[in-house]
Amino acid sequence: MSRLLLVDDEEKIRLMLRKYAAFEGYEIVEAQDGMAAVQICKQEDFDAIIMDVMMPELDGFSACREIFKFKKIPVLMLSARGEEYDKIHGFELGIEDYVVKPFSPKEVMMRIGVLIRRNQKPAATEKTHDVLQYEGLHIDFTGRVVSADGVTLDLSPKEYELLFYLVRNKGIALTREKLITEVWGYDFFGDDRTLDTHIKLLRNSLGEYRKFIVTLRGLGYRFEA
């Protein structure tokens, strides 16, 4: 049974999501603020977190920043604000999904299911190290490490997946729909802006090697090196 941490200072929202989560078969632990969420995560493990942004004691962004220091747990963020800045800030922290209030609890549960499936670790198998290098950009698929000129890059989980897929398909024109389907999954509920935002973040992380990600106007992107 998958375990969820539900963090929101509004009891009505926690009650609503708890009912839907229980119906879907999840085990639920609740917290009323970010500070409590951090303490709970130090003591327990979860398959995913539903985190509100605006809360007393410690806001959702700050709580995630603290949690990510000692655990990597996929997070779906809830917010009453829908500005692009908030979403970019969340993606930069490593938050994987974002839902604006008011929302459909059924959709939230569907998104959580996607997060959990996407972050499940495959069974360990013996294989040789899979490494590619383009100029000073070093990509270790097996070790999940990317470095530029000898400096290890701190990429978000989605940046890794996006870069790895682009590199695996080097020289191939990839439409936005193809990238969303392959990197986010067939049951992704977002839009093209989510992809474009992550491409922007990935390019910023790559520095001068951003040149390898070519924009195909009106179509999508291609990794060209």
pLDDT tens-digit profile of 51-95? 998 888 889 999 999 999 998 899 999 887 766 677 787 888 888
Residue 122 is predicted with a pLDDT of 55
Asked if residues 36 and 48 have their Cβ atoms less than 8 Å apart, the reply is no
130-153 confidence digits (pLDDT tens) = 888 999 999 998 888 999 999 999
pLDDT > 70? residue 125: no
Per-residue model confidence (pLDDT) at position 188: 58
Q: What is the CATH number of the domain that holds 173?
A: 1.10.10.10
Query: Does residue 189 surpass a pLDDT of 70?
Result: no
How, if at all, do strands 48-52 and 3-7 pair?
Answer: parallel
How many angstroms separate the Cα of 115 from the Cα of each of 4, 78, 133, 156, 186? 11, 15, 30, 14, 12
Task: Tell me, yes or no, whether 8 and 97 share the same domain.
Answer: yes
> Side chain identity at 77, as an amino acid letter?
M
Residue 119: its pLDDT value, please?
77
121: DSSP letter: P
The per-residue pLDDT for range 11-48, each reduced to its tens digit, is 999 999 999 998 888 999 999 999 999 999 999 999 99
Identity of the residue numbered 109: M
Is the Cβ–Cβ distance between 110 and 187 less than 8 Å?
Answer: yes
What global pTM score does this model have? 0.63
Asked if pLDDT for residue 187 goes beyond 70, the answer is no
Helices 84-93 and 60-67: angle between axes, nearest 10 degrees: 10
pLDDT of residue 96: 85
Are 113 and 13 in the same domain?
Answer: yes
pLDDT of residue 180: 85
Domain ranges, residue 92: 3-119
CATH of the domain at 108: 3.40.50.2300
Burial (CB count within 10 angstroms: exposed 0-12, middle 13-18, buried 19+), residue 2: middle
Is residue 89 domain-shared with residue 149, that is, in the same domain? no
pLDDT of residue 221: 94
CB proximity list for 140: less than 8 A, separation 6 or greater: 129, 130, 131, 146
Among 63, 98, 119, the domain boundary falls at 119
Residue 76, classified by CB atoms within 10 Å of its CB into exposed (0-12), middle (13-18) or buried (19+), is buried
Residues 100 and 177 in one domain: no
Q: What is the mean pLDDT of the chain?
A: 87
